[in-house]
Structure 1
Amino acid sequence: MGGDDEDDRDDGRGVEREYRRRRKMSRGRFAALCIVQVNFALQMARPDTIPGRYRLLAVALMALLGVWAILTVRRGRTTVGTDGVSTRGAFRVRRWAWHDIYDLRVETNPGQRRADVKSLTYLYDNDGRRARLPHLDDWQLPDLWAEVAGLHTAAARHRGMTWERRPAVEVRIRERAAYRKARERAITGALLVLFAAIGYVVWEAVTDGDPHPFLLLFCAPLAAYALLAPLFRRRYIRALAHA
């Protein structure tokens, strides 16, 4: 592993690896993205649908989203070396030393029915926090499970400890998973409120009403999240306690 002949013999590749985007999105995903973009452009080109100031805001948001997506694709990567693991996104770089890493796990992508990626790889630290490892997935790698197993083998010596499970960390992982599910559900609820608010604001704008966009598009979704997050958190923690 990374200069260690014994580890290299065990894994065949050593620990020095970099995972980047090598395969493009599938044709189906690309076609769906094109349809969304064309529809957005057509809607923005119709002068009788959305007032000018809201059209400019929508275009600006779409442009920012496009820049973020392009930077994520071009800059995103996972780097594995003798000192640990690092990830790079559109703007952020994160690093973990091997002794701070509890496990590397392959997990099912929750949105796999609509995605090219069916399985993802996550890094768990010693406090149970997890981070997704970009491009270390079954879309970019033909045998993801074997790749992650090879990383476990190659990194064992550099970690200074085995990959054994620790009950205290496993409990923290389950607790954080419950909190994460609660946040995801609360965000979904807030987005539904936001979409409803957008529809109402557009309708009011078209009919020359006074839609109060700040209250509807900002305050209402935040209020929905603030109400839903603790409710879902209590629900998932209660389910975890009875598991």
Structure 2
Amino acid sequence: MGGDDEDERDEDDHDDERGIEREYSRRRKMSRGRFVALCIVQGNFALQMARPDSIPGRYRLLAVALMALLGVWALLAVRRGRTTVGADGVSTRGAFRVRRWAWHDIYDLRVETDPRRRSTDVKSLTYLYENDGRRAHLPHLDDWQLPDVWAEVADLHTAAARHRGMTWERRPATEVRIRERAAHRKARERAAVGAMLVLFTAIGYLVWTVTVDDGHRLLAFFLLPGAPLTAYALLVTFFRLRSSRTPAHA
């Protein structure tokens, strides 16, 4: 009995030493390869905008404004993005948005590796799952910013147990909702890819009409917002119906 009490005290001392109050923000900069790729993309954009025969001035100004807004958003997301863990729960902060979850509303914290990220800096991300199966990404709690993100999340499970008031057990109903939401999320991702292809086609058609200056320019302007949105709605419906006919695996 005495040995068990000493072991429990040792675990409590370890929890107190690590603490539940933690903040995860950017510790490492992007890799050299990713930085070079970003420079190439920005350089190509600047080259295209500098060409006098590329696109008319008003469209060039719109493209520059959109790129500038995207750059500001990315900078704020990097500078302000963070995940905070405390006795009350978990909170995340992005470029403009702050979200908070109490421990009793959190179903699980999971590290997930995406095979599509093999060529990127970050391959394993941490997600917070709510009791209804919704998930949220936890910024900077990943394998790029942390040497062992799996051990860190496991330690968070242990440290948060006393504040959560319940064990981290799996609940079948919640697992089913997680799989359903994952299927819907994949449907949205596939539909977004299809909508982007339609958008690029509409942009190409718009550029062609501006170049030849024919009577279809007004039609191109209507296609630019309408065609991608219509394609997205149709593809989401199609992929959701397709996933609903696929048997779920435990």
Bucket of the pairwise TM-score, normalised by the shorter protein: over 0.9
* 1:218 pairs with 2:225: yes
* 1:102 pairs with 2:107: yes
Identity %, equivalent residues: 80
Verify the 8 A CA contact 2:129 2:135 in the aligned structure 1.
Answer: yes
Give the letter for the 2:195 counterpart.
A
Deviations 1:169-200 (A, max 9, x none): 00000000011011111111100100111111
* 1:78 pairs with 2:50: no
TM-score normalised by structure 1 residue count: 0.94
Give the letter for the 1:192 counterpart.
L
Give the letter for the 2:30 counterpart.
M
* Unaligned residue ranges in structure 1 (runs of 5+): none
Verify the 8 A CA contact 2:106 2:131 in the aligned structure 1.
Answer: yes
Mapped to 1, the partners of 2:13 and 2:209 lie a distance apart of: 66
Q: What is the CA distance between 1:109 and its match in structure 2?
A: 2.9
Q: What is the CA distance between 1:242 and its match in structure 2?
A: 7.3
**Pairing of 1:140-151 with structure 2 (within 5 A):** 140-151=145-156
Q: What is the CA distance between 1:113 and its match in structure 2?
A: 2.4
Q: What is the CA distance between 1:224 and its match in structure 2?
A: 0.2
Q: What is the CA distance between 1:217 and its match in structure 2?
A: 1.5
* 1:232 pairs with 2:239: yes
Give the letter for the 1:202 counterpart.
V
TM-score normalised by structure 2 residue count: 0.92
Match of 2:3 in 1: none
> Please, which of 20, 30, 34 is the counterpart of residue 35 of structure 2?
30
Mapped to 2, the partners of 1:92 and 1:10 lie a distance apart of: 30
Verify the 8 A CA contact 2:179 2:248 in the aligned structure 1.
Answer: no
Secondary structure of residue in 1 paired with 2:60: helix
Relative distance call for 1:191 and 1:110 in structure 2 (3 A) is: farther
Verify the 8 A CA contact 2:20 2:160 in the aligned structure 1.
Answer: yes
> Please, which of 31, 39, 45 is the counterpart of residue 40 of structure 1?
45
Match of 1:172 in 2: 177
Deviations 1:33-55 (A, max 9, x none): 00000100010011111011111
Q: What is the CA distance between 1:135 and its match in structure 2?
A: 0.2
> Please, which of 109, 115, 121 is the counterpart of residue 116 of structure 1?
121
Mapped to 2, the partners of 1:175 and 1:208 lie a distance apart of: 48
Q: What is the CA distance between 1:14 and its match in structure 2?
A: 1.2
**Cα RMSD (Å):** 1.7
* Unaligned residue ranges in structure 2 (runs of 5+): 1-8
* 1:135 pairs with 2:140: yes
Aligned residue-pair number: 240
Q: What is the CA distance between 1:241 and its match in structure 2?
A: 4.4
Verify the 8 A CA contact 1:50 1:202 in the aligned structure 2.
Answer: yes
Match of 1:51 in 2: 56
Relative distance call for 1:174 and 1:23 in structure 2 (3 A) is: same
Verify the 8 A CA contact 2:84 2:90 in the aligned structure 1.
Answer: yes
Match of 2:160 in 1: 155
Secondary structure of residue in 2 paired with 1:202: helix
Relative distance call for 1:52 and 1:7 in structure 2 (3 A) is: farther
> Please, which of 206, 214, 223 is the counterpart of residue 211 of structure 2?
206
Q: Which moved more, 1:8-17 or 1:98-107?
A: 8-17
Higher gyration radius (CA): 2
